[in-house]
Amino acid sequence: MKPEPETIIRNFQKILHGADYNPDQWLDVPEVIDEDFRLMRVAGCNTFALGIFAWTSYEPEEGNYRFDWLQGIMDRMASQGNKVILATPSGSKPAWMSKRYPEIRRVNALGLRDPHTRRHNHCWSSRIFREKVRSINTELGRRFGNHPALGMWHVSNEYQGHCYCDGCLNAFYQWLEKRYGDLDSLNRAWWSTFWNHTFTAWDEIHPGDASLDGMQVDWLRFNSWQIGDFYQFETQPLKAFSPEIPCTTNFMTLSPRIDYGYLSQFVDVVSDDQYPRFDPDDTKLVEQAARIALKHDLYRCFKPGKPWFLMESCPGHPQWIKPNRLKRPGMHRLEMLQAIAHGAEGTCYFQWRKGRGGFEKFHGAVVDHDQNEQNRVFRSVVELGALYTKLTPVLGSRVRARAALIFDWEVRWNFETSRGPASENDAYQRVAVDHYQSLWKRSISVDVLRREQDFSAYDLLILPQTWALTDDFTSRLTEFVRRGGTVVATHYTGITNDTNLCYTGGFPGNGLREVFGIVDEEQDCLHSDEVRKIDPADRNELGLTGSMTASEVCSVLHLEGADALATFASDFYAGSAAITVNTFGDGRAYYVGARLSPEDVSQFYDKLIQTTGVVESVVPFRHPEGINIQRRSTSDHDYYFVQNFTDSSHKLPMKGLHWKRVEDGAEITTELEIHPFESQVYSCRSTQRS
């Protein structure tokens, strides 16, 4: 018999489907809780995150714990065959605690201590807060660590934010001392003679000062380190009582200030909170879908070969997205299956039931205020639950990609804290999406990796604005090309080292000038309404045609062995190379020295793929833009997730493929019709070998 695949929750061979559940808001209305358990069955939900904001319900007075209600809920979950992702409650501390121990409240950059407001606002280094967290987590671990319903620990909630109290600043100094050894090295690494910032004692440093961008990057790094440290601290008692139960903390997609790549090494399971605005009237829906696909692939690759899942998403409308437009029919399924297509093995919601009061009382939920199981949103959850039952064979299947794209917070931070380059409005992410979506549009699988991950086995490596380099990354990249790999880099490659000091001797620095056979001498940053035209070179080897358009940034390149594939057509740099290719060792190094329009980036990859065959689509046919097909494979089956992100129907030629629709077993052999915003999953016997 085939061994059962390793699932997110051990021995639970199901796609996780459920929600954040807050029965603590309804303890005085037991009939509502009874109804919840009935509706969970109807909805086909199997996994619930409990207790995220329940600290005061557990510990109404200091040291006086009350877990009876949780015990009751956990027991009912077990008897219904559900799994619980039990939270540690540090995401929102009790008001009594904030009052008794002011030091647990955060201090802002101006030195003012926050009042007890909102949530996510505790000091990372307060000893008292840590003691309190250790106590409550120990109680939870001791009482529930062996409970049959416990499937996973949900550690805190969306860790985020900085604290500038003396304790946190001291922790920053210690972290810096460990990293740099002494102040001389730190001063050199930060270029602190600039504006007379030379530090002669650690406590002269204040991270609220933006003058030194190297310091800014280190402050962000330190904050991710603090979060990782706090996470590990929180998990100690959980691991002691339940070593087999995985721990996670919910990440927030591509959040600019937290390095989730770094944090992913600490969690047992990667989980994400994702709230897209899939609005069918939005002309940017397809682009948004591509951006989310990039993020999904990044999360899939945090722990290669292991499944991840959506901890939070919304079956209805999140109240904070303006305007409060309802989620259109089909959109919920489209969004959830997109995550599964990219390696997720669960999609859960915030929230199970709408509360009657508070900030989130109009936030979409499985159960609305009407408590009606005929409600449209509720029905969409029921339908998805039924589909997930049929999709269980997908568990354990994996995506295989020959292309990799680098997306890295360390690069992003060095880029974004540098004054001068066109790095505003999330340019790092936008250019990455431009390049990623050129492959996504052709349904080519892509692994999205951090700089430190191994990319030696891929055929195509894409480096969108890899601003900051490490020596290790540079030498692996050089080796990759020398041995026959194809690399595509863009403007703003190899500008600084990891403390944001510019390379001297020409960009791309650290030896990459030779790999690309060019020097990127100057970068022209344009007004937002300006463009520059680029013309393909005569008989260029990729066959690029037509006039292309660049915006935001144009690099003035000089050839040092590379060939120009296209040149600028205007401004004083008219005639100089804009897109180049260089042969280096057995490989090819392309440089796209401008922010091309997304259509032109697509043309570039189309021609590259047609000419070189370096990567291929998961299907043997071209399909219209806005259709996406992802493939997940087991040892004997391939699963194709076909999604239509457009408002028109399309017919896809099967070109000899023979698929079975997983939902109803229908056989598809000649043509596949996919309706507006439809998503379907098909299976067939595997054709590829790993």
Which amino acids are annotated catalytic?
158, 312
- Output 108 or 570, the one with its CB closest to Zn ion: 108
- Output 263 or 487, the one with its CB closest to ligand GLA: 263
Q: Virtual CA dihedral for 584, 585, 587, 590, nearest 10 degrees?
A: 0
Residue 424 · residue 219 · CB < 8 Å: no
Give the list of residues 6+ apart from residue 501 with CB closer than 8 angstroms, or none. Answer: 189, 191, 214
Q: Which of 23, 89, 141, 318 binds ligand GLA (CB under 6 A)?
A: 318
- Match 């959506």 to its residue by tokens: 310
588 token code pair: 């090819």
273 binding partner (options Zn ion, ligand GLA, none; Cβ < 5 to 8 Å by kind): ligand GLA
In 3D, which of 486, 489, 435 has the Cα closest to residue 614?
Answer: 486
- Output 58 or 350, the one with its CB closest to ligand GLA: 350
* Contact string (CB under 6 A) for ligand GLA, positions 116-155, x = contact: ----------------------------------------
Q: Is the backbone peptide bond immediately before 323 cis, with ω within 30 degrees of 0? A: yes
- Output 300 or 317, the one with its CB closest to ligand GLA: 317
616 binding partner (options ligand GLA, Zn ion, none; Cβ < 5 to 8 Å by kind): none
User: Is 169 in a helix, a strand, or coil?
Assistant: helix
158 binding partner (options ligand GLA, Zn ion, none; Cβ < 5 to 8 Å by kind): ligand GLA
350 binding partner (options Zn ion, ligand GLA, none; Cβ < 5 to 8 Å by kind): ligand GLA
User: Is 467 in a helix, a strand, or coil?
Assistant: coil
- Output 312 or 498, the one with its CB closest to ligand GLA: 312
Report the distance separating Cα 313 and Cα 271, nearest Å: 11
393 token code pair: 């064979």
Residue 203, class by beta-carbon neighbours within 10 Å (0-12 exposed, 13-18 middle, 19+ buried)?
exposed
Should residue 275 be labelled a site residue for ligand GLA when binding is judged by CB under 6 A?
Answer: yes
Give the list of residues 6+ apart from residue 243 with CB closer than 8 angstroms, or none. Answer: none
What's the min distance (Å) between Cβ of 162 and Zn ion?
9
Report the distance separating Cα 451 and Cα 472, nearest Å: 9
What's the min distance (Å) between Cβ of 98 and Zn ion?
14
Report the distance separating Cα 148 and Cα 640, nearest Å: 35
Distances in whole angstroms, Cα of residue 260 to Cα of each of 121, 409, 450: 19, 8, 10
35 token code pair: 């109804």
User: What is the largest distance, in Å, between two alpha-carbon atoms of the chain?
Assistant: 80
Q: Which of 24, 213, 218, 273 binds ligand GLA (CB under 6 A)?
A: 273
Interface of this chain with Zn ion, residues 116 to 175, rule: CB under 5 A = 123, 163, 165, 167-168
In 3D, which of 543, 533, 601 has the Cα closest to residue 567?
Answer: 533
- Output 94 or 587, the one with its CB closest to ligand GLA: 94
Should residue 346 be labelled a site residue for ligand GLA when binding is judged by CB under 6 A?
Answer: no
- Match 């890295």 to its residue by tokens: 408
Q: Which of 36, 234, 312, 345 binds ligand GLA (CB under 6 A)?
A: 312
Give the list of residues 6+ apart from residue 34 with CB closer than 8 angstroms, or none. Answer: none
- Match 């600043």 to its residue by tokens: 169
Angle, CA 337 vertex, CA 331 and CA 340 arms, to 5°:
155
626 binding partner (options ligand GLA, Zn ion, none; Cβ < 5 to 8 Å by kind): none
Report the distance separating Cα 137 and Cα 233, nearest Å: 10
- Output 126 or 523, the one with its CB closest to Zn ion: 126
Should residue 158 be labelled a site residue for ligand GLA when binding is judged by CB under 6 A?
Answer: yes
- Output 17 or 317, the one with its CB closest to ligand GLA: 317
157 binding partner (options ligand GLA, Zn ion, none; Cβ < 5 to 8 Å by kind): ligand GLA
What's the min distance (Å) between Cβ of 572 and ligand GLA?
49
What's the min distance (Å) between Cβ of 207 and Zn ion?
12
Should residue 335 be labelled a site residue for ligand GLA when binding is judged by CB under 6 A?
Answer: no
* Contact string (CB under 6 A) for ligand GLA, positions 355-384, x = contact: -----x--x---------------------
123 binding partner (options Zn ion, ligand GLA, none; Cβ < 5 to 8 Å by kind): Zn ion
In 3D, which of 255, 245, 344, 356 has the Cα closest to residue 11?
Answer: 245
What's the min distance (Å) between Cβ of 150 and ligand GLA?
20
- Output 165 or 542, the one with its CB closest to Zn ion: 165
168 binding partner (options Zn ion, ligand GLA, none; Cβ < 5 to 8 Å by kind): Zn ion
* Contact string (CB under 6 A) for ligand GLA, positions 216-255, x = contact: ----------------------------------------
Side chain identity at 66, as an amino acid letter? R
417 binding partner (options Zn ion, ligand GLA, none; Cβ < 5 to 8 Å by kind): none
Report the distance separating Cα 624 and Cα 641, nearest Å: 15
- What region does 286 belong to: left with phi over 0, alpha with psi -120 to 50, or beta? alpha
- Output 360 or 373, the one with its CB closest to ligand GLA: 360
Should residue 157 be labelled a site residue for ligand GLA when binding is judged by CB under 6 A?
Answer: yes
318 binding partner (options ligand GLA, Zn ion, none; Cβ < 5 to 8 Å by kind): ligand GLA
Residue nearest to ligand GLA (CB): 273
Interface of this chain with ligand GLA, residues 48 to 67, rule: CB under 6 A = none
User: Is 513 in a helix, a strand, or coil?
Assistant: helix
Number of chain residues interacting with ligand GLA (CB under 6 A): 9
Should residue 350 be labelled a site residue for ligand GLA when binding is judged by CB under 6 A?
Answer: yes
User: Is 343 in a helix, a strand, or coil?
Assistant: coil
User: Is 45 in a helix, a strand, or coil?
Assistant: coil
Should residue 295 be labelled a site residue for ligand GLA when binding is judged by CB under 6 A?
Answer: no
Q: Is the backbone peptide bond immediately before 256 cis, with ω within 30 degrees of 0? A: no
Q: Which residues bind Zn ion (CB under 5 A)?
A: 123, 163, 165, 167-168
Q: Which residues bind ligand GLA (CB under 6 A)?
A: 157-158, 273, 275, 312, 318, 350, 360, 363
